[in-house]
Chains A and B, each alone.
Chain A
């Protein structure tokens, strides 16, 4: 019976061939480590955010007079409203955790290199959209941090030459963050996840065209690939189990961990909290903004600090396959960079006084310095590795690539 139903569908829609092509026969490198788990986890968190957000939207009221109380209503009166709300707020942080780990893996193993540039760039658009969504979502509870965060970030656009003031007023729909701002942020916060979904599909179509990278950095022979299902579905689901344990630990035991205490006070346009800081996932970029003693320069530096990732496929000039594992200089740069981001995140959360200012500036200098050094370091590193003698297998790969390249010309 079910065979006949499937046959009926297959005549009209490529169901079986799709499952075969994208799952049961989709070739996946057999040496993928758990670092390749985070894309799946990001997809899971996206669904979690959309579902919990949908049910929250059934109870939330985007009106400055009602917003704060409607969140309290969700927390106190709505059945499992506390669960939905904390799931959504913890989920936002979880989203950035898995996305940042996903990006760190891409950087370490050089997964952004040819032919995966479009995956890297579509991923970048996803990151920027998630950042915008998270920022707008943070205004919705209409607490003090919500209000002043939105006030400060929208004010950033005031640094635009000539039309800065008009842009800020246009963004806010008023002279300060107010009811029009809240309503439009709610509308856009609801819209952007659909954009993220569309970009995720593009990301996945690109993935299934170029296939997964792997820790060796070399495209494996056909016999070294194994079907995605069941081998990696089971691996991804095991990783999901570990993720859920950590996620639920925060959700049920430390739900306020990621919510500023100041945000339990309703927004007050006449009083700024003594210490404002953005959510943890924006801290490194916020630190870069503060490092430049000029409004426009700071805003440009912050924008650049995120957009510069897109240039990586061109900044990394080395042809040696295998990511940081087989590239000592690149590996050193990677660890300097990760450490530097952590320093930036730390100083971003400190009041900008005393040594914090200098540390902030040095760390910002190193952040951009790594990108500037990379083109030279990667060429020099390749020359050094070749002079030292590459393993025969790698030499063969490079020779093959060179001959293919020559044949095409």
Chain B
């Protein structure tokens, strides 16, 4: 033991005490921050919401030339059964403002699967024989969901999906 001062309460090694204080404060802060996590996490999608992350669609009921709208994660999805003429026309074109070959936008040229929200402001475009026309600001899309004219910056987005069987797709799983 080193010689102590007159006052028995005086710290013999202030640096040691400061270190303990700092470590205590650091551990307490880390604990408080960690304790915030469950609260923040509780605002994330709950498991029942996550369970709706995938949507299965049976394609057998959609005739050539027909389109069906389904919901996936609360968003509308267009599933278009394209005719041979449309397939040929789309394969020949490269789109407009946002050029992309049709082959990169489909897994099976018969089936076009796109998120039905205009890439401009999120309205749902209306189907016509040439493709889609957005009612909000007049963006025009072709039968591959590619933007031809209007204010939309991008082609219609493609959701992740996979063919479970020849006539059944699972949207949400790629």
Residues of A within 8 A of B (CB): 51-52, 55, 58-59, 73, 76-81, 83-84, 237
Residues of chain A within 8 A of B46, CB atoms compared: 59, 73, 77-79, 81
Assess whether B42 is in contact with A55, with CB atoms less than 8 Å apart: yes
* Closest partner residue, chain B, to A54 (CB atom): B39
Pick from A76, A77, A84: contact of B39, CB under 8 Å = A84
Residues of chain A within 8 A of B8, CB atoms compared: none
A130 to chain B, nearest CB (A): 22
Complex: A51 Cα to B43 Cα, angstroms: 13
Task: Pull 16 A–B residue pairs with CB atoms less than 8 Å apart, ordered by A.
Answer: A55-B39, A55-B42, A55-B43, A59-B42, A73-B46, A73-B48, A77-B46, A78-B46, A79-B41, A79-B42, A79-B46, A79-B47, A80-B39, A81-B46, A84-B39, A237-B28
B16 to chain A, nearest CB (A): 17
Complex: A81 Cα to B41 Cα, angstroms: 9
Complex: A59 Cα to B49 Cα, angstroms: 12
Assess whether B48 is in contact with A81, with CB atoms less than 8 Å apart: no
Residues of chain A within 8 A of B48, CB atoms compared: 73, 77
Overall SS of chain B's interface: helix
Complex: A55 Cα to B41 Cα, angstroms: 10
B2 at the interface (CB under 8 A from A): no
Given contacts A59-B42, A73-B48, A80-B42, 10 further A-B contacts (CB under 8 A): A51-B39, A52-B39, A73-B46, A76-B47, A77-B46, A77-B48, A78-B46, A78-B47, A79-B38, A84-B42
Give a binary string over B38-65; 1 marks a CB under 8 Å from any A CB, 0 the rest.
Answer: 1101111011110000000000000000
Residues of chain A within 8 A of B39, CB atoms compared: 51-52, 55, 80, 84
Residues of chain A within 8 A of B42, CB atoms compared: 55, 58-59, 78-81, 84
Residues of B within 8 A of A (CB): 28, 38-39, 41-44, 46-49
* Closest partner residue, chain A, to B41 (CB atom): A79
* Closest partner residue, chain B, to A76 (CB atom): B47
Pick from A76, A80, A237: contact of B38, CB under 8 Å = A80
Complex: A316 Cα to B46 Cα, angstroms: 56
Assess whether A83 is in contact with B43, with CB atoms less than 8 Å apart: no
Complex: A55 Cα to B49 Cα, angstroms: 17
Residues of chain B within 8 A of A83, CB atoms compared: 38
Complex: A73 Cα to B46 Cα, angstroms: 9
B47 to chain A, nearest CB (A): 5
Residues of chain B within 8 A of A76, CB atoms compared: 47
Complex: A297 Cα to B128 Cα, angstroms: 79
Complex: A79 Cα to B42 Cα, angstroms: 5
Residues of chain B within 8 A of A78, CB atoms compared: 42, 46-47
